[in-house]
Amino acid sequence: MDYKSSGVDIEAGYESVRLMKKYVEGTMRPEVLGGIGGFSGAFSLSEIQKMEDPVLLSGTDGVGTKIKLAFLMNRHDTIGIDAVAMCVNDVACAGGEPLFFLDYIACGRNYPDKIAAIVKGVAEGCRQSGAALIGGETAEHPGLMPEDEYDVAGFAVGVVERKKMITGETIRPGDALIGVASTGVHSNGFSLVRKIFDINEENLKRFYPELGMTLGECLLTPTRIYVRMMKAVRDAGVTVKGCSHITGGGFYENIPRMLPDGTAVEIRKDSYPIPPIFPLMAKTGQVDEHVMYNTFNMGIGMCLAVAPEDVERTLAAIRSTGDAGYVIGSVTAGDKTVTLH
């Protein structure tokens, strides 16, 4: 008896590393030390030491049940982008620059081509965010997970000058809310999505004219990464007073997280174009409007609070990175509530 007969194929693990290496190398930064394959990832702090008062930021997350769609569609090269996005967007939300990322893939059986495809997506997410992929782990779990299934998660570490952290403390009534468009459902609410559409392989292949693509293509669209957009806003000289990454919990849970005591927000639902996937879900599943805004991003992946005089500069900076921004509401006096009208 050997390890392979128990369900763990060490040689497959070596092959996975060989196949993914070219993707990982494309994410390297000058601060990365030692290359790929060590027991730990090493990242030099020489540049950080030049900062006046550096603060390390971190974010960790997974993809949730969206991963089920990747299984059904047998497409594994985008789900890694989602894993990176969920982490680096949180770092960017605090005003930080992501420095590096590590991933963790648990699988029932190590199929090297599949693992390499997942890591290709992770590397693409790192490339989009400027983070180095400095390490990771692929764990084979025979008997615990089905052979053809996996889960992927990770964490990012970033840095920001303390005085440039986005804390929400300076938000005041009269400030403007800028919404930055999402690419669709992103990576939250998929337990409800799968129930609405009774997700299976056949249903995912159904073409919807209002979507302009199949349901599966729409739902598997990767989460937008907002790191470069946030940097462009900073470089434009805008002071972002508050920032909310609209993930699970939608508008009602996430926007109040950036608000100081004594403030609230009012949002105009007709102030931006809502992607057709959301009204399709609401109609198909007979989902109440409040539930929709309390579960999904509804077309807004990031929400910024800025002074009224900074609105035009903010919108121009958002456009410069290929993103779309809209004035979706304003800050009012209140008790950290969100009012939609």
Q: What is the mean pLDDT of residues 107-114?
A: 93
- Of the three residues 132, 164, 196, the one that is the final residue of a domain is 164
Residue 170 lies in a domain: no
Same domain, 197 and 228: yes
Domain range for 314 is 176-340
If asked whether residues 189 and 291 sit together in one domain, one would say: yes
Q: Model confidence over 194-210: pLDDT tens digits? A: 999 999 999 999 999 99
Domain match, 191 and 314 both: yes
Domain presence at residue 171? no
Q: Are residues 100 and 180 in the same domain?
A: no
Average pLDDT estimate for 101-118: 94
- Do residues 153 and 187 both lie within one domain? no
Give the predicted TM-score (pTM) of the model.
0.94
Q: Where among 109, 141, 164 does a domain terminate?
A: 164
Asked whether residue 3 is assigned to any structural domain, the reply reads no
Q: Could you tell me if 100 and 38 lie in one domain? A: yes
The predicted model gives 175-189 an average pLDDT of 97
CATH number at residue 269: 3.90.650.10
Taking 70 as the threshold, does the pLDDT of residue 3 lie above it? no
User: Which of the listed residues 140, 164, 188 is the one where a domain comes to its end?
Assistant: 164
pLDDT given at position 5: 57
pLDDT at 113 over 90: yes
Shared-domain flag, residues 208 and 149: no
Residues 9 and 110: beta-carbon distance below 8 Å:
yes
Looking at the structure, tell me whether residues 254 and 330 fall in a common domain.
Answer: yes
Q: Give percent of the chain with pLDDT exceeding 90.
A: 88
Compute the mean pLDDT over every residue in the chain, rounded to the nearest whole number.
94
Question: What local confidence, expressed as pLDDT, does residue 6 receive?
Answer: 57
pLDDT at 239: 97
Q: What CATH number did the domain enclosing 92 receive?
A: 3.30.1330.10
Overall average pLDDT of the 235-263 stretch? 97
Model confidence at 4, pLDDT cuts 50, 70, 90, reads low
138 and 197 together in one domain? no
